[in-house]
């Protein structure tokens, strides 16, 4: 056991992986990078471990004995929003939309370099930290020049108030709550409209267009609300 102080808290990962050769190399590499690693060798063990301990992130292989990676992800999401990175093998059909829908934060394809994996892990954790800061400030959301006071139902762009309709407000709120993360069309429609969604799928795009006209400097070249072609939209984390 190495000596460590309170503020040198190590990140605790749950590594769900059934390939033994992979597990060893990865565990050594991740330990060296400052992560504590627990291992689950099948989907059922992953669920059991997850319910009995707390983790900062789950690295989840897709093809697993007993319970598939997708079902493990779905199960974890019933009770937790722990960051999850899905790992798939080369050649496996990966449906990115489905993975985002069931709540994965990111995914990597084997074989990958340890350095790449660590960069992804740190990016997901950083994103989550920002998200938690937003959550902590409760009903005040602030990303870049956009500030939203949820309780008062008011929104400001660089200090200037913009008037949003009900659905526009809900849509922007959802995007601001998930900065840097792709939200699929299905998720946006479901969370903002639910069963109220009528008409064709253009309704969402019309609302995005109107939001852009209100918050973007140049709505034709949006800096805040990006389109992720074929998937959905993402609110960009601004550098400043």
When the beta carbons of 46 and 171 are compared against Ca ion, the nearer one is: 46
Query: Would you tell me the crossing angle of helices 114-136 and 20-32 to the nearest 10 degrees?
Result: 60
Token pair in block for residue 120 = 């992804």
Chosen residue from 13, 15, 16, 18 binding Ca ion by CB under 5 A? 18
Q: Candidates 11-19, 120-128, 182-190, 203-211: pick the segment binding Ca ion (CB under 5 A).
A: 11-19
When the beta carbons of 56 and 61 are compared against Ca ion, the nearer one is: 61
Segment 128-187, which members bind Ca ion (CB under 5 A)?
none
Q: Candidates 17-25, 72-80, 98-106, 158-166: pick the segment binding Ca ion (CB under 5 A).
A: 17-25
* CB-nearest residue to Ca ion: 63
| Burial class for 114, CB neighbours closer than 10 Å (0-12, 13-18, 19+) | middle
Least distance in angstroms from the C-beta of 19 to Ca ion: 6
Residues 6+ apart with CB under 8 A from 105: 83, 84, 85, 124, 127, 128, 181
Segment 53-72, which members bind Ca ion (CB under 5 A)?
61, 63
Query: Would you tell me the crossing angle of helices 185-192 and 202-215 to the nearest 10 degrees?
Result: 80
Length of the chain: 240
When the beta carbons of 18 and 56 are compared against Ca ion, the nearer one is: 18
When the beta carbons of 50 and 169 are compared against Ca ion, the nearer one is: 50
Least distance in angstroms from the C-beta of 198 to Ca ion: 43
Nearest Cα to Cα of residue 166 among 202, 211, 129, 134: 211
Least distance in angstroms from the C-beta of 78 to Ca ion: 23
Q: Residues binding Ca ion: what is the number (CB under 5 A)?
A: 3
Distances (CA, A) of 90 to 36, 63, 102: 26, 11, 21
Residues that bind Ca ion (CB under 5 A): 18, 61, 63
């Amino acid at each position: 056991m190495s000596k460590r102080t309170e503020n040198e808290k190590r990140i605790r990962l749950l590594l769900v992986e059934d390939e033994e050769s992979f597990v060893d190399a990865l565990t050594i590499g991740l330990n060296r990078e400052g992560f504590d690693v627990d291992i689950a060798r099948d989907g059922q063990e992953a669920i059991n471990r997850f319910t009995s301990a707390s983790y900062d992130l789950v690295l989840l292989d897709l093809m697993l004995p007993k319970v598939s990676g997708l079902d493990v992800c779905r199960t974890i999401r019933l009770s937790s929003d722990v960051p999850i990175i899905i790992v798939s093998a080369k050649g496996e059909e990966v449906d990115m939309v489905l993975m985002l829908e069931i709540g994965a934060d990111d995914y990597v394809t084997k074989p990958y370099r340890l350095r790449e994996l660590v960069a992804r892990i740190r990016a997901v954790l950083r994103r989550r930290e920002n998200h938690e800061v937003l959550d902590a400030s409760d009903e005040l959301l602030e990303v870049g020049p956009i500030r939203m006071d949820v309780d008062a139902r008011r929104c400001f762009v660089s200090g200037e108030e913009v008037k949003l309709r009900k659905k526009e407000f809900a849509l922007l709120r959802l995007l601001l709550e998930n900065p840097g993360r792709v939200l699929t069309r299905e998720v946006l429609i479901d969370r903002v409209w639910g069963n109220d969604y009528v008409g064709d799928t253009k309704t969402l795009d019309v609302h995005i267009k109107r939001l852009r006209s209100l918050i973007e400097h140049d709505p034709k070249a949006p800096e805040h609300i990006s389109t992720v072609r074929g998937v959905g939209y993402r609110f960009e984390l601004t550098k400043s």
